[in-house]
Amino acid sequence: MKVLILHPDLRDAGGVAGYYRKLDGKFSITVGHLIIGTRPGERGGVDTVRRMLSDVRLFIRKIRKENYTLVHVNPSLDPKSLLRDGLFLIIAGLCHKRTLVFIRGWKDRYENLIHRHWRWLFRGVFGRADAFIVLSQAFKRTLASWITNKPVYSAFTALDDEALAGFDMRSALEARLSAPRWRVLFISRLIKEKGLYETIDAVGMVSRHLPGVDLLVAGDGPELAPARQYVHRAGIPNVRFLGYVRGEEKAWVLRHAHLLCFPTYDEGMPNTVIECMGFGLPVITRPVGGLVDFFQDGIHGYVTDSKEPAVFAGLIRRIVEDKALYRKMALANYAFAQKNFKPCQAARRLESIYEAVSNGNHRL
């Protein structure tokens, strides 16, 4: 069996690139990679058309000459991604290759649009796939209602083994509990829909009562400059913007933060939550995507339907003011992540799906 995976450049900051970066070297079968999507320095227009044509030509050449048995695409549920990966899916079918679609990002507004208006088009293009993977049971039920005759598997995302190398949970926990200041972490692409401003406001409310609480904002995006201005105008103290972090810098942030506040509006399976659980951080978030399938309120942190900063402020205070509770949540998250989110486990799960799809045996 030989599988070709289409994904963005592994150096990119996005969740799809991060996932396959973590799985690099973990497969026991032959896996090829084809980089697709926007490249650094691409200015749109002519550059985009040229890049897309180049990607298509290279894709056709690879699947014709390198004898792949299965093509694996990774769209998000948004128009641009679906159009791009739908084209590759059609080409793979014309070349008589089996196909697997792993829908990584799931956006509620596009789910509603497809369900109401474009289900026929989605079925016409993606109904050609041999199987699907999604990141939550709710997504699985929705997709199965759109395309009724194809298997839909579920999967988790993965931790970063390199970032966790040498990490000692017990020592980190004691260091956090004895630290003079508490660090609330927000780490994501900086867009409004991730709950950035709700987090800033929540920590601002907490700091009025607990001045020893800081907010670390890690990430880049269109809201970086506006968020800096917002913090300055509102006079919210103790907010540090770290920019995009990766490698050792990211590992340092995850080791030294105390908890994650992530009031995201919608997700597939947020890598941010999985990574922070891997470092034993309690998580305060919303019931989105695949989190609904495993996240236990009061065990892994707190989950709320609310988007109100005051609600998140109250939950932050509840954790910060109760060290016994903090210890319990931190250890629970670390143990759960080690048990369920190891990259080798994610690779084995994909391999079992690849084998089932290649052989036409979908009983896993």
Question: Tens of pLDDT along 307-319?
Answer: 999 999 999 999 9
H or E element: which one contains 336? helix 323-340
- Pairing assessment for the beta strands 30-35 and 2-7 based on DSSP bridges: parallel
Q: pTM, whole model, 2 decimals?
A: 0.86
Model confidence pLDDT, tens digit, residues 228-271: 999 999 999 899 999 999 889 999 999 999 999 999 998 888 88
Helix, strand or coil, per DSSP, at residue 114? helix
pLDDT at 360: 79
Q: Which domains does the chain have, with CATH numbers?
A: 2-158+343-359 (3.40.50.2000), 161-340 (3.40.50.2000)
Average pLDDT over residues 339-352: 93
Tell me: pLDDT of 218 over 60.
Answer: yes
Answer with the residue of higher pLDDT: 163 or 90: 90
Model confidence pLDDT, tens digit, residues 92-130: 999 999 999 999 888 888 999 999 999 999 999 999 999
pLDDT at 156: 85
Model confidence pLDDT, tens digit, residues 166-208: 899 999 999 999 999 999 999 999 999 999 999 999 999 999 9
pLDDT at 330: 98
Task: Indicate the DSSP class of residue 297.
Answer: B
Cα 201 from chain centre: 24
Buried b (16+ CB within 10 A) or exposed e, 221-245: bebbeebeebbeeeebebbebbeeb
Q: CB under 8 Å to 14, separation ≥6 — which residues?
A: 8, 189
pLDDT level of residue 18 (50, 70, 90 thresholds): confident
CA distance 101 to 232: 44
Cα 66 from chain centre: 31
* Arithmetic mean of pLDDT over the chain: 93
Model confidence pLDDT, tens digit, residues 273-305: 999 999 999 999 999 988 999 999 999 999 999
Q: Are 185 and 202 in contact (CB under 8 A)?
A: no
Tell me: pLDDT of 363 over 70.
Answer: no
